[in-house]
């Protein structure tokens, strides 16, 4: 019989406690599926005395996660502390230098240091796995690195921050303003300590950069992600997009083009009838387009104790089975440094503005669009409110450069009383 696989867990928050519960409660199942027993030998956290709802009495304790990472009785270092630098980075580096395998849920760490850590793992004969870092319980990393390895990936997109999806869903379903929905999410404990990580698109941008690296064989480049949060989305945008048959989502989109790697995390419109349009609450969805398989849609819980701990244990079991795989699906030294490209692939756009109550105002907007080479698909003018008329335009496919020219021209019109807002429409 194989020796037990011994885990050292650093970080005993919600996910860490969830991992301990699975190892304790599912021991026979884990052994039958991996071919060896899986045990926890030692743990580390900031506060030893905190009640986490699980007993730690059978495990060694280390105040310093770096010490935990290098213990002789730890085969796999499980990093669940979070943070792009500091103790998490130091401990993961120490484990890899010692030739120990690492399983992490830390998207920020990998988004900023993934290439260096992948190279460090390979040079020391270790593996670095991170299924839990992207979309919680959805096995999207495994899908890209294994199940879809025979495909050329043409596009990766998805909703990868449940908090933003919750806020946008509540705005539509309950008629809440952005500030009201934000406050509700905060009261439910959905927001990070720094809310901008969620609503500013940073958390989801980290995840997109990791998926793009695997999908397109490139070095992780979070700095190349165009980020735009949801803070400027109004209840009017929500309602008017719905009138046009769309829903607004904070959508990550990545594709390789002749200009370079496009990575965008920004509010987009999607057809209300599409899988992404039907996504509600805190659920995540990852969509992958492959040249052989077509479109794959994966939907599930993007956070929480059970789903994220499930993803951690999926990686642990793969290590127990002896699966040795490069961090991003191919050797780190073979990954190319992709040229960042602004997301300029032609697409239709939603434009919102407001005009003065004067004859010919709408015609001036249409003329500005036409002069910039932007073709109108649909246009709708709403009833006047306080002598202002809200106007919506859905364009045919156009480049971002042409759209920017049109927006600048519209903003300069004397009949325009609200700066135009434009949101990309992503076809799914």
CA-to-CA separations, 99 to 115, 122, 323, in angstroms, rounded: 17, 9, 15
Closest to 230 measured CA to CA, from 174, 172, 288: 172
Sheet containing strand 5-10, strands side by side: 60-61, 38-44, 5-10, 76-79, 101-104, 128-129
Closest to 303 measured CA to CA, from 200, 207, 161: 161
In sequence order, what E strands does 202-259 have?
226-227, 246-257
Residues of the chain by 3-state class (helix, strand, coil), percent to 5: 40, 25, 35
CA gap 43, 56 in Å, rounded:
8
Closest to 133 measured CA to CA, from 339, 7, 343, 284: 284
Answer whether 312's CB lies under 8 Å from 176's CB.
no
In a 10 Å sphere around its CB, with 0-12 CB exposed, 13-18 middle and 19+ buried, how is residue 285 labelled? Answer: buried
Helices 305-321 & 14-25 angle (0-180, nearest 10): 60
Say how many C-beta atoms besides its own lie within 10 A of residue 125's C-beta.
11
Provide the annotated active-site residues: 207
In a 10 Å sphere around its CB, with 0-12 CB exposed, 13-18 middle and 19+ buried, how is residue 428 labelled? Answer: buried
- Token representation of residue 372: 């910039």
- Token representation of residue 284: 């995540």
């Amino acid at each position: 019989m194989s020796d037990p696989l011994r885990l050292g867990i650093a970080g005993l928050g919600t996910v860490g406690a969830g991992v301990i519960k699975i190892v304790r409660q599912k021991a026979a199942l884990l052994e039958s599926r991996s071919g060896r027993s899986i045990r926890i030998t030692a743990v580390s956290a900031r506060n030893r005395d905190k009640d986490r709802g699980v007993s730690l009495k059978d495990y060694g304790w280390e105040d310093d996660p770096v010490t935990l990472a290098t213990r002789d009785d730890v085969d796999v270092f499980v990093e669940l502390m979070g943070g792009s630098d500091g103790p998490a980075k130091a401990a993961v580096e120490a484990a890899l230098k010692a030739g120990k395998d690492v399983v992490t849920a830390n998207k920020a760490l990998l988004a900023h240091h993934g290439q260096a850590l992948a190279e460090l793992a390979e040079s020391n004969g270790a593996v670095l796995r991170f299924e839990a870092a992207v979309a919680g319980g959805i096995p999207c990393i495994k899908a890209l690195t294994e199940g879809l390895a025979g495909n050329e990936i043409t596009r990766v997109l998805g909703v990868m921050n449940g908090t933003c999806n919750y806020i946008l869903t509540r705005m539509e379903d309950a008629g809440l303003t952005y500030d009201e929905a934000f406050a509700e999410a905060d009261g439910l404990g959905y927001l990070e300590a720094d809310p901008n990580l969620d609503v500013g698109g940073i958390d989801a941008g980290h995840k997109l950069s990791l998926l793009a690296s695997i999908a397109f064989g490139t070095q992780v480049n979070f700095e190349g992600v165009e980020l735009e949060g949801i803070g400027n989305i109004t209840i009017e945008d929500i309602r008017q997009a719905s009138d046009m048959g769309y829903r607004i989502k904070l959508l990550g989109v990545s594709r390789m083009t002749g200009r370079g790697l496009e990575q965008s995390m920004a509010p987009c419109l999607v057809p209300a009838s599409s899988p992404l349009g039907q996504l509600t609450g805190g659920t995540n969805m990852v969509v992958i387009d492959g040249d052989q398989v077509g479109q794959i849609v994966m939907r599930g819980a993007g956070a929480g104790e059970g789903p994220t701990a499930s993803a951690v244990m999926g990686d642990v079991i793969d290590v127990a089975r002896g699966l040795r795989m490069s961090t991003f699906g191919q050797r780190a030294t073979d990954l190319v440094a992709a040229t960042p490209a602004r997301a300029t692939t032609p697409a239709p756009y939603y434009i919102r503005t407001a005009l003065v109550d004067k004859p010919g105002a709408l015609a001036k907007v249409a003329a500005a669009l036409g002069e910039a080479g932007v073709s109108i698909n649909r246009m709708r003018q709403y009833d006047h409110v306080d002598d202002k008329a809200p106007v919506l335009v859905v364009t045919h496919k156009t480049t971002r450069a042409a759209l920017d020219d049109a927006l600048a021209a519209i903003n300069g019109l004397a009949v325009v009383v609200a700066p135009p807002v434009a949101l990309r429409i992503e076809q799914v």
